[in-house]
């Protein structure tokens, strides 16, 4: 496990310039946002082109990464899968299918997703109807289609449990994994996104349970931090309340060996954040060499 990053943390006129900037920090893995290469995001609501823009741009994008020795660990395919406007959901699914078709040429086999919210204006904002059975059923319907797309193109679709979305806990994440029952639906784990109001005093218990339920299905891990519970964390890793020793230890114990994708930070904060993560990982490796209990 080594630190990686969203390349959009380094806003530049071109993708190549963004990759050059992150390479200076020794980072060699990213979660790729198509908009960084002038491609549409899956959440864009404009008309669907007959020609697949992701396939058309894949060779150009891939060359930018290969020439710098940077891996595309995953590509962002997030859209609101339960948006109240069914046309928006349908457009998102169509774009997602186009993106999945381009993944082999891009050199990645993971697309990241969220499970959506009933808030029509902001897919990261909580809505009380998220807990309704109707919302759950809508999420399941979309995820069934998403699993079919994954199977068609042999691409893993990884969703992130997040307190403001329909799947707002490890328990609900386990439930939807079991209901869908597809090997193409997996988990993005972000330890800063799973604490409901009042749960921070139970951090160790919440983290342990999340990994007990989901550890074997984690295919990508995010690294950021939080300053309060009841919302998604938006702080750089190491500058908030998340117990990073426990979080990284649980990731390691689960068998995860991919990159820890940093986000929720500015470019100016990258150096300190990378140093923090590298120090914690070094400490973890020493603990693994001389095992001690996390309890």
**pLDDT tens across 134-152, in order?**
999 999 999 999 999 999 9
Q: Where are the beta strands (DSSP E) in 150-253?
A: 156-159, 185-190, 218-223
CB within 8 A of 87, min separation 6: which ones?
none
The confidence score (pLDDT) of residue 120 equals: 85
Within 10 angstroms of residue 87's Cβ, the number of other Cβ atoms is 9
Which residues, in sequence order, are bridge partners of residue 225?
A: 235
The confidence score (pLDDT) of residue 289 equals: 53
Within 10 angstroms of residue 241's Cβ, the number of other Cβ atoms is 15
DSSP label at residue 161: -
Residue 46 pLDDT > 90: no
The confidence score (pLDDT) of residue 121 equals: 83
Report how far Cα 140 is from the mean position of its chain's Cα atoms: 19
Q: Is 268 exposed, middle or buried (0-12, 13-18, 19+ CB in 10 A)?
A: exposed
CB within 8 A of 90, min separation 6: which ones?
none
Average pLDDT for 32-37: 96
Q: Is 246 exposed, middle or buried (0-12, 13-18, 19+ CB in 10 A)?
A: middle
Domains of the chain (ranges; CATH) run 3-289 (3.20.20.150)
Within 10 angstroms of residue 79's Cβ, the number of other Cβ atoms is 23
C-alpha to C-alpha distances, 95 to 50, 91, 214, nearest whole angstrom: 11, 6, 28
Q: Helix or strand or coil: residue 67?
A: coil
Q: How high is the mean pLDDT of the chain?
A: 94
Pinpoint the alpha helices (H) of 107-164: 133-153
Q: How large a percentage of the chain has pLDDT more than 90?
A: 89
Give the pairing type, strands 156-159 and 29-32: unpaired
**What pTM, to 2 d.p., does this model score?**
0.94
Within 10 angstroms of residue 33's Cβ, the number of other Cβ atoms is 18
Average pLDDT for 62-87: 97
C-alpha to C-alpha distances, 91 to 42, 44, 143, 283, nearest whole angstrom: 8, 8, 14, 46
Structure confidence by residue, pLDDT tens digits, 199-217:
999 999 999 999 999 999 9
């Amino acid at each position: 496990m080594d630190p990686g990053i969203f390349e959009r943390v380094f806003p530049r006129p071109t993708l190549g310039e963004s990759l050059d900037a992150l390479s200076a920090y020794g980072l060699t893995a990213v979660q790729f946002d198509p908009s960084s290469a002038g491609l549409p995001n899956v959440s864009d609501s404009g008309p669907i082109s007959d020609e697949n823009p992701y396939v058309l741009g894949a060779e150009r994008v891939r060359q930018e990464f290969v020439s710098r020795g940077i891996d595309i660990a995953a590509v962002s395919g997030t859209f609101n899968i339960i948006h109240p406007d069914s046309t928006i959901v349908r457009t998102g699914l169509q774009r997602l299918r186009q993106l999945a078709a381009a993944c082999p040429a891009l050199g990645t086999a993971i697309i990241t997703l969220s499970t959506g919210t009933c808030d029509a204006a902001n897919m990261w904002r909580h809505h009380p109807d998220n807990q309704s059975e109707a919302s759950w059923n809508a999420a399941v319907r979309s995820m069934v289609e998403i699993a079919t797309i994954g199977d068609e193109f042999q691409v893993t679709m990884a969703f992130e449990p997040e307190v403001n979305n329909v799947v707002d806990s490890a328990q609900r994440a386990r439930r939807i994994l079991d209901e869908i029952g597809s090997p193409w639906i997996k988990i993005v784990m972000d330890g800063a996104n799973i604490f409901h109001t009042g749960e921070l005093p139970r951090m160790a218990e919440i983290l342990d349970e999340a990994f007990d339920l989901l550890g074997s299905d984690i295919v990508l891990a995010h690294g950021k931090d939080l300053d309060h519970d009841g919302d998604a964390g938006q702080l750089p890793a190491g500058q908030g309340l998340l117990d990073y020793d426990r979080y990284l230890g649980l990731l390691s114990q689960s068998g995860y060996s991919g990159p820890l994708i940093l986000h929720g930070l500015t470019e100016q904060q990258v150096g300190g954040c990378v140093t923090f993560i590298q120090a914690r990982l070094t400490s973890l490796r020493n603990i693994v060499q001389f095992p001690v209990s996390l309890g």
